[in-house]
Structure 1
Amino acid sequence: MFRYVHTNIIAKDHEKLIAFYKKVFHCKSIGETRDLRGEWLDKMTGISNAHIVGEHLCLPGYEEDHPTIEIFSYDEMETANVPQINRCGIAHLAFEVDDVEETLRNLLKEGGSQIGEVVKADYDDGRKAIFVYATDCEGNIIELQSWK
């Protein structure tokens, strides 16, 4: 079997970031909190005395268990580079929303920030879309999109 399971974000403050994703993107708790440590975790991460805390949140629009966004904090973390939309690697998480401008206002109110302008795009097949790049309250890049 193959299926997509989760995306992991390492947060400076997992509780604050979890609250942000619940409030802004309607992610839901599914009872999968984590407080992990032990030899198996040290071996898997390559970090001595690793300790992870956090929670899995069900993404909006999906069943109660998958896929999830996994928001964790380690006791000791490395400083990240400033996320940039054109940096190699995973660039952003995308959420389809009913109203891009309203969701952006909520995101900004909860401590996120806007990267570029809200844009409207017409596709050759007749579909229309509204897009904007923003960041969550810890600087991770988010794309908001709405289709008609």
Structure 2
Amino acid sequence: MFRYVHTNIIAKDPNKLIAFYKKVLHCQSIDEKRDLKGEWLDKLTNLKDAHIVGEHLLLPGYGSDHPTLEIFSYDTIKDTVIAEINRPGIAHLAFEVDDVEMVLEEIIRAGGGKVGEVVTAEYPDDIEAVFVYAKDPEGNIIELQSWRNKR
């Protein structure tokens, strides 16, 4: 077997971030909460006395067995690195939505923010897409996108 399983976000406040992704981006609890520690975790993470808490959330649009968004927190968190769209590494999580502007407003009301402007881009076959980059309450970048036939 070979399949994509999850993406992990390390949060300063996992409960707040979990609530944000559930409310604003329609992720669902699948009762996979974690409270992990032990020698095996220390070996895996190469951290002494590692302790992880958090939850797996089912991403919208998928069946009940994955992929998930894993939001965890360690007892000890390193300083935050500011997320920037052109920083090497994972740049953003993307969600297809019906109304980019409406979801962006929800993100902002829920404590997130906007990175750039809402734009519309033309694609072949009379298709256009609306895009915006936003940030969740902890600064992780989220892409919102909506695809439609040109009017």
Q: What TM-score range do you get, normalising by the shorter chain?
A: over 0.9
Instruction: Return the TM-score normalized by structure 2.
Output: 0.97
Query: In the TM superposition, what is the alpha-carbon distance from 1:126 to its structure 2 partner?
Result: 1.8
Task: State the alpha-carbon separation in 1 of the partners of residues 136 and 19 from structure 2.
Answer: 11
Q: What letter is aligned with 1:51?
A: H
* SS of aligned partner of 1:83: coil
Percent of paired sites with the same residue:
68
**2:13 matched to 1:21?**
no
Q: After superposition, what is the alpha-carbon deviation per residue over 1:92-143, rounded to whole angstroms, capped at 9, x for unaligned?
A: 0000001000000100000000010000011123211000001001000000
Task: State the alpha-carbon separation in 2 of the partners of residues 108 and 94 from structure 1.
Answer: 17
Task: State the alpha-carbon separation in 2 of the partners of residues 58 and 65 from structure 1.
Answer: 8
Instruction: Return the TM-score normalized by structure 1.
Output: 0.99
> Which residue number in structure 1 is paired with residue 142 of structure 2?
142
Please list every run of 5 or more consecutive structure 1 residues that lacks an aligned counterpart in the other structure. none
> Which residue number in structure 2 is paired with residue 76 of structure 1?
76
Q: What letter is aligned with 1:11?
A: A
Which 4+ runs in 1 deviate beyond 2 A?
none
Number of equivalenced pairs? 148
Q: After superposition, what is the alpha-carbon deviation per residue over 1:37-83, rounded to whole angstroms, capped at 9, x for unaligned?
A: 00000000000000000000000000112000000000001112110
Matches within 5 A, 1:13-92: 13-92=13-92
Task: State the alpha-carbon separation in 1 of the partners of residues 123 and 89 from structure 2.
Answer: 27
| Greater displacement, 23-32 / 117-126 | 117-126
Please list every run of 5 or more consecutive structure 2 residues that lacks an aligned counterpart in the other structure. none
* SS of aligned partner of 1:21: helix
